[in-house]
Amino acid sequence: MMMLITGRCATDGLSKSVQANMPIVNSKRNVIIFLRCGVNSKKWQRLPRQGVWCMNLVECLALFVLAALATMLLVPAAKRLAVRFDAIDYPSARRVNKEPVPRMGGVAMLGGLLVALLAVFVGMCVLGWADPFVPHPSLKVNYIGVGAGVLFMFAVGVVDDVVDLKPKTKLAGQVAAACIVVASGLLLSSVRNPFGAGFLEFGWFSYPLTVFYLVAFANVINLIDGLDGLAAGITAISAFTLFAFAVLTFRPDAAIMSIALAGVCVGFLRYNFHPASIFMGDSGALLLGFSLGIVSLFAVARSAAFVSLLVPLLAAGVPIIDTALAIVRRTRAHKPIDQADSGHIHHRLMETGFSQRATTLIMWGWTAVLALCGVLITRLSGMGRIVVFCIAAGVTAYGVLKLHLLDPVLLHHYHPRKKTKRGRADGDGRTDEEAGGSDSEGGSGRDENEGAGSGTPRS
């Protein structure tokens, strides 16, 4: 049976001079781990399982299944809660749903994560599982504080689902949640020096950088949640990718969190894939995006390779590209960044004639290709790495050009601003009525804005 093992082994009876090299693992049922004692010693000493993170794939699969089942079982309760607080997406000209749909799916998702976490502690106490919550030696992370930050972000999403927070209030809540995580010791404090030995330290700048990173991750998932099952599927693929990377780089905390997150997403898709009977709402989108950002930091913190930073960025490449293009598009059109429009990737795909399901599957496939490329880049070197990078860039460039995602930006240069009849300027020279006619975006968020400033728009 294949085993996933880290080299952090602080057990009784071993001197501080024990150097942990690549462990030797017996493939039999009972795990046997040996470490080389001393720098130049050829002697191998057998270590007990306790104190060593040694989790087999069956245990990981159990956590995945438990998270998925718990999420599925909690969805009906989340629906009833949404109805009670009137957190419902009613049909309108801006939404694709033709009947009222509850939007507090994040409640079921949080429940699935908590069940998975409880299963880990039960496994540790009853079944002899080793403690996976072991951060990188360079990090001093308070996991309880990290969990508190996740709960705070979830609370921000729930309140917005119910009462529709103002943009600045919602953004302030997101920043506060990220600050809680940063204060708990999880920081993007350094990167491997790509031009020489050692690391490039960010110093005090690591605090605002990490806050920005986490808030950005939360919002890219929020913005991509425009079709049934789209955000949940993309997050699941990204989480599986981070799980694989965490296993390859011996990051037990990231592996456990990512496999649980993937299970939650897969379980939620049972009710969220088209035709969806529940939307995740901001409570779910912010929870998934924020958790994904946290897991990615655990996975790449103090990584031995600079290219490791590409793994989370490529795994979440599609929502990141969509968000970046939306910001540029709205800025060049002289519109608020958080104002919804119909220029997202899924809009373009549906305009070409694809159905909701086909559009979702295409974007899942795009995400999977980029995620696989991200992992391969870290495992290859030289020409192999260049080839994989070119594949990722080529697939992305093809999608951007084929769907004419840059057209709104390029047209701005040929059609400068013109004054409308009301005396206001529109970015592409159309009247207010004409411009408004194209914003037919609908969905599980508010009617006016999206992202940090509102609910999750569905179109």
For residue range 205-221, list pLDDT tens digits in order.
889 999 999 999 999 99
Tell me which of 62-76, 267-281, 418-432 is least confident: 418-432
Q: CA-CA distance, 176 to 181, in Å (whole number)?
A: 9
Q: What's the pLDDT at 411?
A: 60
Binding residues: 222, 282
How many whole angstroms separate alpha carbon 219 and alpha carbon 453?
A: 10
Strands (E) located in 122-185: none
From 19-33, 65-79, 260-274, 409-423, the region with the lowest mean pLDDT:
19-33
Q: List Cα–Cα distances, 391 to 51, 242, 404, in angstroms.
A: 42, 20, 20
The upper half-sphere exposure of residue 166, i.e. CA atoms within 13 Å in the direction of its Cβ, equals 3
Among 259-273, 293-307, 337-351, 425-439, the minimum mean pLDDT is found in 425-439
For residues 35-57, give the mean pLDDT: 40
Token pair for 380: 């290859």
Q: Decide which of 376 and 326 is more confident.
A: 376
- What's the mean per-residue pLDDT of the chain? 76
Buried b (16+ CB within 10 A) or exposed e, 331-365: ebbebebbbbbbbbbbbbbbeeeeebeebbbebbe
Fill in the amino acid letter for 408: P
At a CB cut-off of 8 Å and minimum separation 6, what does 112 contact? 67, 68, 70, 71, 74, 260, 263, 264, 267, 268
pLDDT of 19 strictly over 60: no
Model pLDDT, residue 347:
76
Cα separation, 53 vs 49, whole angstroms: 8
Binding residues for Mg(2+): 222, 282
pLDDT at 12: 37
* pLDDT value at residue 56: 67
CA pseudo-torsion sign 325, 331, 333, 339: positive
Q: Is the pLDDT of residue 284 over 80?
A: yes
DSSP class of 287: H
Q: Check residue 354 and give its pLDDT.
A: 86
Q: Which residues contact 21 (CB under 8 A, 6 or more apart)?
A: 7, 35, 36
- Identity of the amino acid at 99: E
How confident is the model at residue 428, as a pLDDT?
Answer: 44
Give me the mean pLDDT over the 161-188 stretch.
92
Can you list the alpha helix ranges (DSSP code H) found in 301-425? 310-315, 317-332, 345-351, 356-379, 383-402, 407-414
| CA distances to 158, 185, 210, 211 from 205, in Å | 31, 14, 9, 10
Question: What is the Cα–Cα distance from 268 to 229, expressed in whole angstroms?
Answer: 9
Over range 107-129, report the average pLDDT: 92
Q: Which element (helix H / strand E) includes 79? A: helix 57-84
What does the pLDDT look like over 317-336, one tens digit per residue?
A: 888 888 888 888 777 777 77
pLDDT score, position 311? 85
Q: What is the largest CA-CA distance in the chain?
A: 85
Choice among 81-85, 343-347, 451-455 with the minimum mean pLDDT: 451-455
Mean pLDDT of all residues in 24-51 = 35
Ranked by mean pLDDT, the top range of 246-260, 296-310, 423-437 is 246-260
Evaluate if residue 302 carries a pLDDT over 70. Answer: no
pLDDT of residue 409: 59
The predicted structure's pLDDT at residue 306: 62
Residue 206 CA to residue 189 CA, distance in Å, equals: 5
pLDDT at 97: 59
* Sequence spans of domains, the chain: 1-52, 54-451
**How would you class 53 by CB atoms within 10 Å of its CB: exposed for 0-12, middle for 13-18, buried for 19 or more?**
buried
Provide the CA 303 distance to its chain's centre, in angstroms: 19
